[in-house]
Amino acid sequence: MDETVVCRVLGGKAWRTLRDRARGIDPRAVTARRMPESTSAFHAFDHDVYDPVLVRAALLDLVTALGQRIRGRDQIARELTLAVRFADGSTVERTRTLPQPSAHTDDLRATVFRILDSMAFERARIRRLLVTVEDRRPAGEGPGTQTSLDPAGRTGFPWSPSSTASTPGTAAASPGQPVPTAKRVDPQRHGSGRHRVPPGPGPGP
């Protein structure tokens, strides 16, 4: 079609824009899309459980995966939300702000355990757990943090610089006293259920 006809039909400005786009000309600046401000992971049990050991083990797996995800994007999180679904289908959800923005598994674990403790469940039958880290931002906007001796963050025990334990995840012992060891939960015996961490989003939302 003749360009003068297209120009007459579309108008001068629209025609010039269409012509330039067809030739690969676009003077607009490229703006990187923002990273999503939250990401989630959930655990669905094979059957309703009320064992707090199994619940905490599942939460530890979730925050470990989420911590690895946001660290991989060089981000930190400010808030953490825990949603618990019960056997009757009802759901309780609570959000807590971290003491300081962080992507360390120990910080996420401590926060999600505080939320769980605040719910004060008594033999409640739990069906599903959902953990969401929110208010994500570039890691450069957060304060410096102490490097953990347990980089995988899977021990489930707090660590502090004053700890004298020779191995992360074990309690310090007095001279001459044996060091107590942590008991491992066998997920096959207790029916840990299905665990899924949805893949993180791509470079943009």
Give the pLDDT of residue 143: 61
Is 120 a member of any domain? yes
Is 174 a member of any domain? no
Across the chain, which has 205 residues, the per-10-residue mean pLDDT values are: 66 76 78 72 93 94 95 92 94 94 94 94 90 88 52 40 34 43 46 52 47
Residue whose entry in the numeric block shows the structure tokens 């008991």: 183
Here the CATH number for the domain that contains residue 81 is 3.30.1490.100
Is 52 a member of any domain? yes
Is 96 a member of any domain? yes
φ and ψ at residue 151, rounded to 5 degrees: -60, -30
DSSP character at residue 140: G
Give the pLDDT of residue 58: 96
Give the pLDDT of residue 181: 44
Strand 75-86 with 39-49, pairing? unpaired
Helices then strands, counting H and E runs in the chain, come out as 5, 6
Interval 37-51: pLDDT, tens: 789 999 999 999 989
Give the pLDDT of residue 198: 54
Q: 63, 58, 127, 116: which is closest to 91 by C-alpha?
A: 127
Q: Which domain holds residue 51?
A: 34-143+191-199
- Separation of alpha carbons 81 and 202, rounded Å: 22
Is 154 a member of any domain? no
Number of domains composing the chain:
1
Is 179 a member of any domain? no
In the chain, the DSSP E strands lie at: 39-49, 75-86, 91-102, 126-134, 137-138, 194-196
Is 173 a member of any domain? no
How much is the pTM? 0.56
Is 22 a member of any domain? no
Interval 4-33: pLDDT, tens: 766 666 677 776 787 787 888 877 776 665
Task: Please check whether residue 195 is in contact with residue 60, taking contact to mean a CB–CB distance below 8 angstroms.
Answer: no
